[in-house]
């Protein structure tokens, strides 16, 4: 485990036996894990480089049990780490050594699907794809579609404000959730949002989206369902130059088109994916774009004509339009399998998640190529190009001493460049523990202090997912000192500190 994660995490003096005795009173035996072999599967989330065994894992079967657990934990001052499917890529669900992991795995019922109202009320452990599957018979689906949608949960999606390949047109999780019901750390029931389109008071529903399990435990979510478009078609465009591909993205948007999906992959990603998925990607291309249109057949035909014209003008070296649904899914299959495909060609990889203004896509790619040389590591690039959201996949081997640190530094440099290019250190994967240091680059001490105060408004004792997302002031001071020592005055932390 890297030293990075350890030193910010606050410790709690927990009497394990007393805690266990109380939990046993409210939970069936099968909902309480204490033996090391049972705890082991919970030691990390999708960020596998960081591991920590929890004290205890609890798996409540209903909201009442979850409430009882929280009442006990808050009374005994025990940290609680909510956990969905643990596909999170920033360590948000990584356990705390003094804490309880609260898994929502058993809360996986679709409580109600109202086709006329186009809403579904679901428990937090329901998988993203399960919602669309249940809605399909009504011609409806749940629009946000993270590539992990087979596994990840709605509770996790809300907590990360997850996106997918169709978010440019259909929005992120925050745009598709109407209500979140939850429990405060004290075990009080709270409802953020309601069955209408807005709620009185502050928009706490928006605040819950992307809050990474730090504000409240989510026990139920009402999601909005969307009418399935009659037709979707995707164009697969190859480019012999990444700059042309990046500029094509900006040109499509500038032409007033909002594609249903607009994704980009670079040469390394194409070469990882194609042998694995056989999606039909052009192995000679430096970059490919996947650009989707959906709607009525007439609408799609009209938009496809406009999109292909822009792609041609932007210098695409090859253009293929999906001729049927099977081919469309095949074109997408490559993109959706990009992470596992890269996982096959390298022992380990770090997935980064910066967002930048679209116009800087090519600049970022060129900078990353330079970093590959400097760090001696390969990096495959998969972008939600329409949103300017980058997923560089930095390949390394954890068994080679020093490589994880190199990969981490490489990733850190990408994120800091994202901030400099007018973007952010995370578009959709969250901060967790992975990017907590880069938070110091993006925010000033006063901004971070406000985040801490906001957290205390929900969780005064700091028991929900402690030590994540918001770095302490001391940590950032240290970061700034080491950064300015390392690269002189011209770095992102200094920019953040002196922005005004």
Partner 1 sequence: MGEKANSCLERWTGRVRAAAAEKTAIRLRGGGSKDFYGQSLVGELLDTREHSGIVAYAPSELVVTARCGTPLAEMEATLAENAQSLAFEPPHFDPGATLGGCVAAGLSGPRRVQAGAVRDFVLGVKMINGQGELLNFGGQVMKNVAGYDVSRLLAGSLGTLGLIVEVSLKVMPVALAEQTLRFDLDQEKSLNLLNQWGGQPLPISASAWAANSLHVRLSGAAAAVSAATAKLGGQRVTPEESTAFWLGLREQSHPFFAGDAPLWRLAVPATSAVLALPGEQLVEWGGAQRWLRGLGTPADQSIRIAAEQSGGHATLFRADAAQKAALGVFQPLAAPLGRIHHNLKLAFDPLGVFNLGRLYPDL
Ligand X SMILES: Cc1cc2nc3c(=O)[nH]c(=O)nc-3n(C[C@H](O)[C@H](O)[C@H](O)COP(=O)(O)OP(=O)(O)OC[C@H]3O[C@@H](n4cnc5c(N)ncnc54)[C@H](O)[C@@H]3O)c2cc1C
Q: What distance in Å separates the CA atoms of residue 114 and residue 123, rounded to the nearest whole number?
A: 15
- Per CB under 8 A, 388 contacts partner 1: yes
Tell me whether residue 162 or residue 226 sits nearer to ligand X (CB atom).
Answer: 162
Q: Of the two residues 229 and 280, which places its CB atom closer to partner 1 in the complex?
A: 229
Query: With binding defined as CB under 8 A, does residue 254 bind partner 1?
Result: yes
Nearer to ligand X, 316 or 390 (CB): 390
Query: Sheet holding 32-33: strands in order across?
Result: 32-33, 56-58, 100-103, 80-83
Q: Examine residue 146 and tell whether it contacts partner 1 (CB under 8 A).
A: no
Within 10 angstroms of residue 466's Cβ, the number of other Cβ atoms is: 21
Residue 301 is a binding residue for partner 1 (CB under 8 A)? yes
355 binds, among partner 1, ligand X, none (CB under 5 to 8 A by kind): partner 1
Residues 74-93, interacting with ligand X (CB under 6 A): 81-89, 92-93
The Cα–Cα gap between 265 and 449 comes to: 38
Q: Tell whether residue 468 is a contact of partner 1 (CB under 8 A).
A: no
User: Binding residues for ligand X, how many (CB under 6 A)?
Assistant: 36
Closer CB to ligand X, residue 117 or residue 457? 457
Instruction: Label each residue of 225-250 as H, E or C.
Output: CEECCCEEEEEEEEECCHHHHHHHHH
Question: Would you tell me how many other CB atoms lie within 10 Å of the CB of residue 305?
Answer: 10
CA angle 464, 470, 471 (to 5 degrees): 120
Q: Which of residues 148-177 bind ligand X (CB under 6 A)?
A: 148, 152-153, 155-157, 159-160, 162-164
Binding mask 212-241 for partner 1 (x = CB under 8 A): x-xx-----------xxxx-----------
Question: For the chain, what percentages of helix, strand and coil (3-state, to nearest 5) are there?
Answer: 40, 20, 40
Using the rule CB under 8 A, is 174 a contact of partner 1?
Answer: yes
**Number of other residues whose CB lies within 10 A of the CB of residue 187:** 17
Residue 465 sits in the site that holds ligand X (CB under 6 A): yes
Residue 457 is a binding residue for partner 1 (CB under 8 A): yes
The residues, any chain, with a CB within 8 Å of residue 303's CB and separated by 6 or more, are 257, 259, 293, 295
What's the min distance (Å) between Cβ of 49 and ligand X? 13
Q: Which helix (H) or strand (E) holds 286?
A: none
Which of partner 1, ligand X, none sits in contact with 499, Cβ below 5 to 8 A by type? partner 1
Q: What residues numbered 80-139 form the site for partner 1, per CB under 8 A?
A: 114-119, 138-139
Contacts of 139 (CB under 8 A, 6+ apart): 227, 228
Interaction site with ligand X (CB under 6 A): 45-46, 81-89, 92-93, 104, 124, 146-148, 152-153, 155-157, 159-160, 162-164, 212-213, 217-218, 339, 428-429, 465
């Amino acid at each position: 485990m890297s030293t990075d994660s350890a030193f910010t995490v606050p410790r709690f003096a927990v009497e394990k036996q007393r805690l266990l005795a109380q939990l046993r009173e409210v939970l069936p035996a099968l909902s309480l894990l204490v033996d090391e072999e049972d705890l082991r599967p919970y030691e990390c989330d999708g960020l596998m480089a960081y591991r920590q065994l929890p004290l205890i894992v609890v798996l409540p079967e209903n909201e009442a049990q979850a409430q009882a657990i929280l009442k006990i934990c808050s009374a005994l001052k025990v940290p609680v780490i909510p956990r969905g499917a643990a596909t999170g890529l920033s360590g948000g669900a990584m356990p705390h050594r003094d804490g309880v992991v609260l898994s929502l795995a058993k809360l996986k019922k679709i409580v109600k699907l109202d086709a006329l109202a186009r809403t579904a009320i679901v428990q937090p452990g329901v998988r993203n794809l399960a919602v669309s599957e249940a809605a399909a018979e009504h011609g409806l689906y749940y629009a946000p579609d993270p590539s992990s949608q087979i596994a990840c949960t709605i509770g996790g999606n809300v907590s990360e404000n997850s996106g997918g390949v169709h978010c440019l047109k259909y929005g992120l999780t925050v745009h598709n959730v109407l209500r979140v019901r939850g429990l405060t750390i004290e075990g009080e029931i709270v409802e953020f949002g309601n069955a209408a389109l807005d709620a009185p008071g502050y928009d706490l529903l928006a605040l819950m989206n992307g809050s990474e399990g730090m504000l409240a435990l989510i026990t139920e979510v009402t999601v909005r369902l969307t009418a399935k478009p009659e037709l979707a078609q995707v164009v697969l465009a190859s480019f012999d130059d990444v700059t042309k591909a990046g500029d094509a993205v900006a040109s499509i948007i500038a032409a007033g088109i909002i594609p249903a999906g607009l994704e980009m992959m670079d040469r390394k990603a194409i070469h990882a994916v194609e042998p694995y998925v056989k999606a039909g990607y052009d192995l000679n291309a430096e970059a490919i774009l996947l650009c989707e249109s959906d709607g009525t057949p007439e609408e799609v035909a009209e938009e496809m004509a406009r999109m292909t014209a822009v792609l041609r003008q932007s210098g695409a070296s090859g253009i293929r339009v999906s001729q049927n649904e099977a081919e469309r899914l095949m074109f997408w299959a490559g993109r959706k399998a990009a992470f596992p495909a890269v996982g096959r060609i390298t022992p380990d990889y770090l997935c980064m998640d910066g967002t930048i203004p679209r116009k800087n896509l090519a600049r970022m790619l060129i900078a990353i190529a330079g970093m590959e040389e400097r760090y001696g590591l390969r990096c495959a690039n998969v972008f939600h190009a329409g949103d300017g959201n980058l997923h560089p996949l930095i390949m390394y081997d954890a068994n080679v001493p020093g490589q994880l640190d190199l990969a981490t530094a490489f990733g850190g440099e990408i994120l800091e460049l994202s901030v400099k290019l007018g973007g952010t250190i995370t578009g959709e994967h969250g901060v967790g523990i992975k990017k907590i240091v880069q938070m110091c680059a993006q925010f000033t001490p006063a901004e971070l202090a406000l985040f801490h105060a906001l957290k205390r408004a929900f969780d005064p004792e700091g028991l929900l997912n402690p030590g994540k997302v918001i770095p302490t002031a001391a940590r950032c001071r240290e970061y700034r000192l080491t950064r300015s020592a390392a690269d002189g005055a011209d770095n992102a932390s200094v920019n953040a500190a002196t922005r005004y």
